[in-house]
Structure 1
């Protein structure tokens, strides 16, 4: 897991164009800044200046200290607080290894993050740690889930009356409130399938499986969408995997595996 995290941090820095090396070209492990929420850090690079604002600092179970950062687009001149107030944001939230802020980084101020600046971090929490998200935003988890359920019930009733687009809207509101609501994601996907919107349905089934990897209906339906979209090789892989992944449903996966192989042979 730690290796995966390290690769993630390296990728994040690479994407946002921030250097993780000291002047000697090697990571500096001895002069790391002790980061605090609200720190504004700058660094001079070959083509300009990088700037980040620390939104929160976490200690992960493996001992890695993680800085949740808002990063600005590279600037041609040394950033100041006044300049950064007008500077465009590059990434609203990026989790970065706090140990990467070593030699070459300078703290120029500390200002509590505003609600607008925290939008990326709160969306991250909403998906990764819903209880913390609710606490961080001053909401009650039970109330959020209750509201999401009301939208779900209305969506289901609308679907029963063939009001598909209205149902999709209600499912979307339920998911927006509670992104882990995979039942709502699945039902929205099935509604998209009924409308022939297979790409939208496929995206939803993939989202559902991220939340609930054991969802057999979402997994099978992902394969069905791929088959109907003509992506036969990808569909074959899904149905084949399903025969082993869901042995209790092996028969239906085998059936569709044979169908998609027949379609491949027929061209």
Structure 2
């Protein structure tokens, strides 16, 4: 016979498990939280700490048929979709730094210089990795991680568990928001990339006027030196553009968490 104090333990554990799904899915898709260096146990603890009070605030109840049922499956699927959408738009904002780094690296002649990205484990250009680290510092300095957690918690008011299906317009806004990774990335790379194109044109004119000049021995060091100097000069402007891209990502996450699209 089950003691009276333990009769509702199973139901409470199921409520906690469902409450962890939305923040857990957001942390998997979001940068920094979803990095391979972050232990899975830490993500589970954070998801539990955020999900339990948020679900209690929304008065979450499980389907009458239980979790292992069609209503339970749709409830879990909706939670996963809502969490992934909020985390993915932040990832799109961070992708602008990688796009900018790719463009600058190719213009500098450093397209072959790559390093392992600790967040994804994949190889990325060295300049892109540098800009990604700058974006991460800006995100933390502006309390972006706290803003993301607050957005996830507030989403339980507008999208309570069991009614968290995103509308077609909301899903379409996520797809449309993907253009930010390209437009913002090219805008960030424009000051340095355009100047490096001018350097390449000057080197081409020099090579044309002096055919005996070894262009590869002179052009690549000149482009590399010019790129490093231009990165240092334009870094304040690039940091502002990165901050703007991250702000747009957080605003889009808030729009999705508020049930708007």
Taking structure 2 as the reference length, the TM-score comes to 0.22
Indicate the structure with greater strand content: 1
Indicate the structure with greater helix content: 2
